[in-house]
Structure 1
Amino acid sequence: MTKADLVKIISENTGIIRKDVAVVVDALLYAIKDSMAKGNHIEIRGFGTFKLKTRKPRVGRNPKTDQKVPVPARTVPTFKFSREFKNAVVNVKTK
Structure 2
Amino acid sequence: FKVVKDSMTEGHNIYVRGFGSFVNKKRARKVARNISKNTSLIIDEHYIPSFKPSKTFVAKIKGSKKVVGEVAPKAKAPKAKKAKS
Structure 2: tracts of 5 or more residues without a match:
69-85
Structure 1: tracts of 5 or more residues without a match:
1-28
Deviations 1:43-95 (A, max 9, x none): 00110001111100011111422422211111111111111111111255476
CA 1:65/1:90 → structure 2, altered by over 3 Å: closer, same or farther?
A: farther
RMSD: 1.9
Q: Distance in 1 between matches of 2:49 and 2:25?
A: 6
Mapping for residues 51-70 of structure 1, pairs under 5 Å:
51-70=23-42
For the pair shown, the structure with the greater C-alpha radius of gyration is 2
Question: Identity over the aligned pairs, expressed in percent?
Answer: 33
- The structure 1 segments of at least 4 consecutive aligned residues displaced by more than 3 Å after TM superposition are 91-95
- The TM-score normalised by the length of structure 2 is 0.67
- The TM-score normalised by the length of structure 1 is 0.61
Higher relative contact order (CA 8 A, sep 6+): 2
Partner SS for 1:90: helix
* Structure number with higher strand proportion: 2
